[in-house]
Amino acid sequence: MKQTVSVLCILSLIVVAACGNESQGTDSALEQQAGNETAGAVMPEVDHWLVVTDSIGVELGDSNFVFGQIVGAQFMPDGDIVVADMMKSKISIFSPEGEFVASAGRQGSGPGEYQLVSTVAVTAEGGLIVPDAMGGKLNFYDSDYNFVDAMTGFFPSPPVMISSVTGGFVGLKPEFEQTEEDMRTGMGIYLWTDSATADLEYIKNMIPFDLNDLGATVKTMVLFDADCNGNVFLAPYSTEDYTITCVSPDGEELWNITEEQAAVKKTDEEIEEEKELVRSRLIASGAPAAMAENYQVEEYKAFISMLEVDNLHRLWVQSGLYDSAFYRVYNCDNGDFLFTAALRADDEHEGVTPTICEYGVTGFDPNTDTWSRLYIIHPEEPDLFQTQDW
């Protein structure tokens, strides 16, 4: 099952917001899929392999190494590793050797405190931006991990997935609108600089809110990342459309990729596991049990599950079709295809989702049935990336 914590977190936020406020052609895409689907997917030929080389985290023992629910992790410019823990409502920092360095945040609503951590982003200066999804704010830290300031004033929530760019950040923000006619929910990708008012809208998808079809809201999600030049890469979280678009910092389309993909059905076991996972997460987020029961699991797997830019200005597009992480990698400048890559996963690491960024590769299993661990990942071929630590 490939169901990320980010999707669940976003869905929970939209449901809670709606409760609090309650006082390219789909048909043609579906036609193209008819007769071209499988009940499972065989991973294509892989050009380069990534491997798990180490891990941080224990089931019992030192509390600094016992994670609750990891929702984000990245290498810092100096080699430190920062981990966002949703369940423990804090950020933990480890040295490149895996030693505990510091932590920031705790459960609460005060400065530097969290009600629901959803991810972490590293700034070009070596600082951190950490969204508090339920607290309605972004917390900012300097390169020494000291709390600096909070940005507030977002409605119905702050962006829950973010990518730092020069002078600001790009983020995915849940949306909620209520008119005299109906309620609408959805998601948008925006650029912010110095306030909760977005400076630029890249894309916004809205649909009527339907308590009987909560899963439809997930279909409005757009995957994204940004490069060092401020260009933004966008892809729909879709079971029907494999399209990637690159736009400039001011929103001008630079290039577009569209590829044919065969639809892949989820197994009955995957559907049941996802339904139970979503139900439990929605209830934990404050949604009524009856509402959580109305979540309808999408029958097909999403074509794309993640976009990430590396240190060589390459766009890694993770497929949502396979049991372990598989990528098609493109040139960020023009969208040309470069190579395929995958995580070499055994039974222990099959559910690990890598996070590829400028300074290194980490990973975690968002749906682990044991205990949360942070994995350190390297390429089998050292020259696949160019950093002093890889």
What does the DSSP assignment read for 234-271? EEE--SS--EEEEE-TTS-EEEEEE----EEBPPHHHH
Q: What is the CA radius of gyration of the chain?
A: 20
Q: Residue 280's pLDDT is what?
A: 73
Q: pTM for this structure?
A: 0.88
Amino acid at 17: A
- Domain 5-384 sits in which CATH superfamily? TolB, C-terminal domain (2.120.10.30)
Token output for 342: 């995958």
Percent of the chain past pLDDT 70, that is, above it, reads 84
Summarised one tens digit per residue, pLDDT across range 167-181 is 999 999 999 888 888
Range 46-69 average pLDDT: 95
Average pLDDT, the chain: 85
Summarised one tens digit per residue, pLDDT across range 272-307 is 887 787 777 677 666 667 666 777 788 899 999 999
Domain borders along the chain are 5-384
Range 82-101 average pLDDT: 94
Q: Residue 8's pLDDT is what?
A: 57
Q: Residue 178's pLDDT is what?
A: 86
pLDDT for 245 beyond 90: yes
Contact criterion met (CB below 8 Å) for 359 and 75: yes
